Amino acid sequence: MNPDTIQAWARRATPADLAAAGFDNLQVLAADMLILRLAREGHPEALAILEPMADQPIVEPLPIPAGMLPGLTRYVDSGIPPGSFLQAVICGEWRLAARLADDANAKILPAFGAWLLRKAPPQSHGSRANFEAWMAQRGRQMRAAA
């Protein structure tokens, strides 16, 4: 990850600051997701970035539209693959997700990332390999339970 992206994230630069530095929103979203995941795993560098923000109030993410939740929960609970937009989100392919999103979902892409971090097991998202492995694992579990 580019150190400038990390610094911009840490100081929560304005969109104008980020644009002037050459970052687009998807790069910042990817940095957010990576730093949060690394902090969750206990990496000291990520924890050091987040520590100064520990006393700040938590901002709740925008809610996921009701029509998108079934696809996410079916994937997490049963390993059933969702549509192409949600697959891109789950795999962490944010540029593709932005291209596939409708107008409403494009405005709240970070909410999807926040949902995954809060509600889904870490091994179920973040890469195409995790996505494929999760579907295979959940599929085996579902067949064994039947």
Residues 97 and 74 in one domain: yes
The count of structural domains within the chain is 2
Residues 46 and 87 in one domain: no
Residues 26 and 83 in one domain: no
Residues 144 and 89 in one domain: yes
Domain range enclosing 98: 65-146
Q: What is the pLDDT of residue 32?
A: 66
Which segments in the chain show pLDDT lower than 50? 1, 57-58
**Would the pTM of this model clear 0.75, i.e. be above it?**
no
Distance CA 103, CA 113 (A): 17
